[in-house]
Amino acid sequence: MSSSRTKPRRALRAVARSLTIPLLAVLALSACARESEPQAPKEQELRRYSFARTEMGVPFRLVIYAESREAAQAASTASFARVSQLNAILSDYDPQSEVMRLCAKSGDGKMHPVSAELRTILALSKHWWQASDGAFDPTVGPFVQLWRKARRTKRLPSAAALAKAKELVGLEHLHMAPVQRLLRLERPGMRLDFGGIAKGFALDEALQILRRRGIQQALAEAGGDIAVMGAPPGKAGWRIAVSPAAEQDSAGEFLLLRDQAVASSGDRYQFVEIAGKRYSHIIEPGSGLGLTRRSLVTVVANTGAAADAMATIVSVLGPEKGVAWIDRQQAAAARALALGDEVREHRSRLWRRHLEANSSPNSQNSNEGK
């Protein structure tokens, strides 16, 4: 949801074998013994395999530990197929996607059947819309369209265009049946945009497919969002380098994650300047304007969808208020940087819990993953 956002990220590198990702770099570091399953391969028999494709318009990577390339290849193929399936449901660029076909029927007064996937992501989106008092809103599509045009033309949306779009924004205008997979978009011209949650949701689904294929240790990355399952053999978790506060700095902190996800958001690399003013690609749902407050946000959560959505929310609320909001959520952590002439850092209470021991911006080994 480009209120939602297209992730602004710059590549960082993974230690073990150059797994390059924007804003976050993944490195296989430490792991505990994984849960044993009948006929599960021993850890010493596992090898690391990496696969990459372009999915959902971004580089999508899988790192899999498996007994053989054949097993890893089969699992990755099934996982990528699932992501492609989700894109065919959720893309707002494809007029034939399920969500765009639904939007074409907005305002017709009818309840329409939807897939389980669309119903699920709407339920998740509604949760975050309510939890954030509207800072996260999947109905910002009309605003997104205006700002895509603004980036091309370098001209601000007119006040009249913003006012017209605002009439179509608000999840209260979407009605979901409590049990059945039926929903209605109340107003003609409504447009859903899942840019603030779709990639994280796809990461969760990608790992679920790998799990069903017997994979127990894997990493999935999509355009800077990362979700991990288990940990590399003999390690305690996946080591993930967080982008340093200053763009020119080479040092940063490292997260150590297992069965978790991390997402980042901000305008360091994606923005437009119009009439001397800088506007983020992230849209404030209440006003329809691109954010002018610069920030860089990293969120750790238990699922990719949650991390993705919360990174958007913190960006919209701003670093200070956003981190305070994170502290009220369960099992989530965040670091938010307010960017400007000086960089101000805000950390949630649980942020340090996810850091690798002795990791700090000045640690001697912090440039390993650069």
Helix/strand/coil (H, E, C) string of 297-331? Answer: EEEEECCHHHHHHHHHHHHHHCHHHHHHHHHCCCC
Domains and CATH numbers, the chain: 237-357 (3.10.520.10)
What is the spatial distance between Cα 325 and Cα 348, in angstroms, rounded to a whole number? Answer: 9
Q: Using 50, 70 and 90 to split pLDDT, how confident is the model at 294?
A: confident
What is the spatial distance between Cα 332 and Cα 260, in angstroms, rounded to a whole number? Answer: 10
Instruction: Determine the pLDDT at residue 14.
Output: 35
Instruction: Determine the pLDDT at residue 337.
Output: 92
Average pLDDT, the chain: 85
What would the mean pLDDT of 205-230 be, rounded to a whole number? Answer: 97
| Cβ neighbours for 68, distance < 8 A, ≥ 6 positions apart | 47
pLDDT tops 90 at residue 340: no
Instruction: Determine the pLDDT at residue 44.
Output: 63
Of 276, 183, 221, 282, nearest to 55 by C-alpha is 221
What is the spatial distance between Cα 220 and Cα 21, in angstroms, rounded to a whole number? Answer: 11
Instruction: Determine the pLDDT at residue 247.
Output: 59
Per-residue pLDDT reduced to its tens digit, 146-203: 999 998 989 999 999 999 999 999 999 999 998 889 999 999 999 999 999 999 999 9
Instruction: Determine the pLDDT at residue 43.
Output: 65
Of 82, 23, 14, nearest to 50 by C-alpha is 14
| Amino acid identity, position 61 | R
Which residues does residue 157 pair with via DSSP β-bridges, in sequence order?
none
What would the mean pLDDT of 245-264 be, rounded to a whole number? Answer: 82
Asked if 243 contacts 84 with a C-beta cutoff of 8 angstroms, the reply is no
Say which residue, 31 or 223, is predicted with more confidence.
Answer: 223
pLDDT tops 80 at residue 361: no
Q: Using 50, 70 and 90 to split pLDDT, how confident is the model at 331?
A: confident
What would the mean pLDDT of 118-132 be, rounded to a whole number? Answer: 97
Per-residue pLDDT reduced to its tens digit, 11-57: 333 333 333 333 343 333 333 334 444 455 666 689 999 999 999 99
CA distances from 120 to 97, 116, 181, 283, 311 (A): 16, 6, 9, 23, 20
